[in-house]
Each structure stands twice: as structure tokens, then as C-alpha cells.
Structure 1
Amino acid sequence: MQHLLADFADRRDWGRFHTPKNLAMALAGEAGELAAEFQWLDPEESARVMADPAKAAAVRLEMADVLSYLLRLADVLDVDLEAALREKVAINETRFPADG
């Protein structure tokens, strides 16, 4: 996915705009747009959001925007997201041990 996005950006000469700061700000903005899709919904409505085709499409597209900016940021900063996630889960295993 990172190669797909890098190629897309390269073909448009967007690399000069894809600085860590700009990508982090864009990621935050897109996360806000995703949150807006759930604003004012009660818990039950939010759980059923994907049942409405129009809302489902909007949620999917906002999720894709969030993912694309996160992947671009990881690419620009040379962060292995899988390794970072595994490290974070290991940390959380000690912070929040499972009962039993």
C-alpha cells in the first residue's frame, strides 16, 4: 500500500508537500472527518452505521483517508508500522495484563 501511495504522490510531484508536519496535520484532519461521521449518533446508531449504504460509503472513504496519510507518514519517516504495532502491543501487555 505504501508503494501505491508513494507512486501516486510521485506522479503528481507531491513529495515536496509530503513533509512529516504536513502529513501529520492531514492525518489529524482526516481523523476528525471520520469522527464527524459519528458525531451526534447514540451508541446503537453508531453500531449500525454500516447498515446505511450512504453512511457506510462515507465511513469507508474517511477510513481510507486516515490510513493513506498514516501510511505516507510512515513511508516518509521510514517507520515499519508492523514492527511499531508489535512493540506497542508488547508494551501494553505489561501495562494492561489480561485477567486469568
Structure 2
Amino acid sequence: MKAVKDDEVTVGSLKDAVARFIRERGWERFHNPKNLAESICIESSELLENFQWVTTDESETYSEDGGRLRSVSSELADVIIYCLAFANVLNIDVAHSVTLKLRECEGRYPKLDFYGRPPNLSKIRKA
């Protein structure tokens, strides 16, 4: 698959590419919800490892550091690939799920109440 930009591809086409990659290698039998959920966590930890022992300020310079950005980008891609494989196995419509969740969060965290500050658990409204 050739490298493309975010605005040149759909979630569906990425899901298809991941499914094709897995199918071409005969890995379907290993890709069950449990294994994929574990893999998502493992790859997320590898992404997090890039930020171990650095300050918040240092982490904010990663977009300017080619080596670190490549490493973070690669680990993020691993997480997303496993998430898409997970969605494929469980027939989850990713775009639908994300938009529903955003709508839920809009109700839970109204912008007027939460603008510029992190959520305060005592003020969370039930959606």
C-alpha cells in the first residue's frame, strides 16, 4: 500500500487494507477480540515508552525532532492498525462509534463548563 495522507483516505479503506494485510499472511486465526485487545494495550505501552522520563515540555518538542517523531508515529500506527483489526473482527463501524462517543462527551463535558480546564469528576454530567 502506498503511503497516503489523512485527507486522502477513509477509515473504511484503512480497515480494508488492514484486513487484506492480515488475510495475505493467514493470521486471521490469531486475530480474536482478546488477542487484539491485548495487542492494543501492548502497543499503547510501546507508544508511552517514548515519553518515559521526559518532561511535558520535552514531549512537546517531538514534532520538531525527526527521530522521535518517527518513533512515536510508528508506535501510533501499530496502535491504530490493531484498533482497526479489532473493529474488523467485531464488525464495529469506527466512524459511527467515534461520532457517537463525541456526541456523548459533548453532553458530559459542555464546552461552557469545561473550556480551558480538565474534567473535574465531581462536575461530570451523565449523558
What's the CA shift string for 1:42-66, capped at 9, x where partnerless? 0110000122221111011001000
What's the CA shift string for 1:75-95, capped at 9, x where partnerless? 110000111111111111111
What's the CA shift string for 1:20-71, capped at 9, x where partnerless? 1000000000000000001111011000012222111101100100000000
Matches within 5 A, 1:1-100: 1-99=14-112
Amino acid in structure 2 at the alignment position of 1:14: W
The 4+ residue runs of structure 1 with deviation greater than 6 A are none
Identity, % of aligned positions: 36
Alpha-carbon RMSD across the aligned residues, in angstroms, is 1.0
Larger radius of gyration between Structure 1 and Structure 2: 2
Amino acid in structure 2 at the alignment position of 1:92: C
What's the TM-score, normalizing by structure 2? 0.76
Q: Runs of 5+ in structure 1 lacking a partner?
A: none
Q: Distance in 2 between matches of 1:50 and 1:97?
A: 30
What's the TM-score, normalizing by structure 1? 0.96
Greater RCO (Cα-Cα under 8 Å, separation 6 or more): 1
Aligned residue-pair number: 100
Q: Runs of 5+ in structure 2 lacking a partner?
A: 1-13, 114-127
SS at match of 1:99: helix
1 or 2, which has the higher helix percentage?
1
Q: Distance in 2 between matches of 1:43 and 1:81?
A: 30
Amino acid in structure 2 at the alignment position of 1:40: W
Amino acid in structure 2 at the alignment position of 1:91: E
